[in-house]
Amino acid sequence: MLRGQVSFEEESQNPPTVGHWKPLMPSKGDKEEPVSGCQDAGGVHEPQSMEQLNVSRLRSSSVEIREKGSEFLRDELHKAQKELKLKDKECERLSKVREQLEQELEELTASLFEEAHKMVREANTKQAAAEKQLREARGKIDMLQAEVTALKTLVITSTPSSPNRELHPQLQSPSKAGFRKGHGRNKSTSSAMVSAASQSVAPEPASRECKEVDSILFAEFQAWKESPTLDKTCSFLDRIYREDVGPCLDFPKQELSELVREAVEQNTLTIEPVAFQTVPMGRVAAEECGGPNGFRSQIVTKCALSGLPRTCKHRIMLGDSGNYYYISPSCRARITAVCNFFTYIRYIQQGLVRQDVELMFWEVMRLRREMSLAKLGFYPSEM
């Protein structure tokens, strides 16, 4: 019974494949239409169930894939956010290091420029003191040489056969000796010393210089120091242009003077000494203006700025034009004084001078004094 039931259930669960077999001897009363109907019913239900099963499987697999994909994307996004935060921190750290290095470099550059300016000023002061001591020593040497020469002359002219009564007052008569009592110094020696003293001027004692801040000039400098600029329309530079720069660079040759002023303002002017050797005429590359061709030392020619015959030890070039102009020592001193002033205010504008405002003001006043002396014709002998 059990076997029959099992076989029956299996047959019921697995219906026979309709249409794969044919009855051997169909009866006359049988019709083939019910058979075709069974075939249609069995053939339709089976594909529909398979399609539904496949659709449900596809839906479940797509949902699972979508969930796994979203979870993977969330993990990747979290990792990317962590890496981005780490990179932001690293960029911030590197930017702080760069700012610190830039600040240290700026402070170091400013201190170096300040130290260099201080060393130049001290060297100039020492040079001036040494030159003063040299002049004093030369004056003393000249005086002593004059005395020695006078004494040698007296000693040579005094011999045993004819002694010099100026050197031996005991040989004089009593009346003359009494008259000359208290005046035993030799007349020739005295006159020689007086002449030597008249030739060498005694150096005056160095007097301490007194200074007082001008309130108007100091106020203009303070206003300019708040926002340093090279614009000549501000009150500070306008005054200096009118009182110092303009007169100092005002030469008889007006056209060349304007070009020199523009080159000084643009920091494109070059001053160089004339070389010692003479270059052949055919090998001169640059055009020589204001003097003969060839590079010579201390050329006596017309100054290109003053138009006067002078000993020109230097020449200038404006920008990269390649044109050289011979200048006299006086013109060089005037141009150099203006260039020193512009160099210092450029240092202040660039923040390279770290000093008290009053010290910077007095340095500007010293440079203005140099320009005033130069435009009046005073310049060092080494020019």
The amino acid at 178 = G
AA identity, residue 205: P
Mode of pairing for the β-strands spanning 299-302 and 269-273: unpaired
Could you give the residue ranges of the DSSP H alpha helices within 158-251? 174-179, 187-199, 215-226, 235-240, 246-248
Q: pLDDT by residue (tens digit) across 217-252?
A: 999 999 999 999 999 899 999 999 999 999 999 999
**Contact in structure between 248 and 374 (CB atoms under 8 Å):** yes
Residues 248-273: what's their mean pLDDT? 93
Check pLDDT > 60 for residue 17.
no
Strands 314-318 and 299-302: unpaired
Q: Say if residue 118's pLDDT is above 50.
A: yes
Q: What is the pLDDT of residues 161-173, one digit of tens each?
A: 555 555 555 445 4
At residue 139, the pLDDT reads: 84
Identify the pLDDT of residue 156.
61
Across residues 354-378, what is the average pLDDT? 93
50 pLDDT tier (thresholds 50, 70, 90): confident
| pLDDT interval class at 253 (50, 70, 90) | very high
Q: Which residue has the higher pLDDT, 207 or 110?
A: 110
Q: Which of 24-38, 71-85, 240-254, 345-359 has the lowest mean pLDDT?
A: 24-38
**Mean of per-residue pLDDT scores for the chain:** 76
- Bridge partners of 331? none
Split at pLDDT 50, 70, 90, the class of 64 is confident
- Residue 94: band (very low, low, confident or very high) from pLDDT cuts 50, 70, 90: very high
Count of CB atoms situated within 10 Å of the CB of 190: 13
* pLDDT, tens digit (0-9, with 9 covering 90-100), for 314-326: 999 998 888 899 9
| Backbone phi and psi for residue 278, each to the nearest 5 degrees, phi listed first | -100, 130
Which pLDDT score is estimated for 22?
Answer: 45
pLDDT for the residue numbered 319: 87
Banded pLDDT at 58 (limits 50, 70, 90):
confident
Would you state the pLDDT for residue 178? 43
Q: Which residue has 């610190």 as its token pair?
A: 100
Instruction: Please report where in the chains the tokens 């029959």 appear, as a residue.
Output: 4
Residue 280 binned pLDDT confidence (cut-offs 50, 70, 90): very low
With beta carbons less than 8 A apart as the criterion, state whether 320 and 285 touch. no
Task: State pTM to two decimals.
Answer: 0.46
Tell me the per-residue pLDDT of 160-214, one tens digit each, with 9 for 90 and over: 555 555 555 544 544 444 444 444 434 443 443 434 344 444 444 456 788 899 9
Q: Is the pLDDT of residue 373 over 60?
A: yes
Among candidates 218, 216, 215, which has minimal Cα distance to 362? 218
Q: Please report, rounded to a whole number, the percentage of residues in the chain having pLDDT higher than 70.
A: 67
Dihedrals phi, psi of 230, to nearest 5 degrees: -100, 10
What are the structure tokens assigned to 254, written together? 């007006």
Q: What is the pLDDT of residue 202?
A: 43
Mean pLDDT of 352-374: 92
* β-strands 314-318, 269-273 pairing: antiparallel
Q: Using only the alpha carbons of the chain, give its radius of gyration.
A: 55
Q: What is the sign of the dihedral through the CA atoms of 237, 242, 246 and 247? A: negative
Q: Is 203 helix (H, G, I), strand (E, B) or coil?
A: coil
Percent of the chain with pLDDT over 90: 44
Domain ranges of the chain: 54-158, 215-275+300-376
Is 245 buried (19+), middle (13-18) or exposed (0-12) by CB count in 10 A? buried
Nearest-CA neighbor of 228 among 348, 343, 114, 342?
348
Is pLDDT at 102 greater than 70 in this prediction? yes
The per-residue pLDDT for range 284-334, each reduced to its tens digit, is 333 444 444 444 445 578 999 999 999 998 999 998 888 899 999 999 999
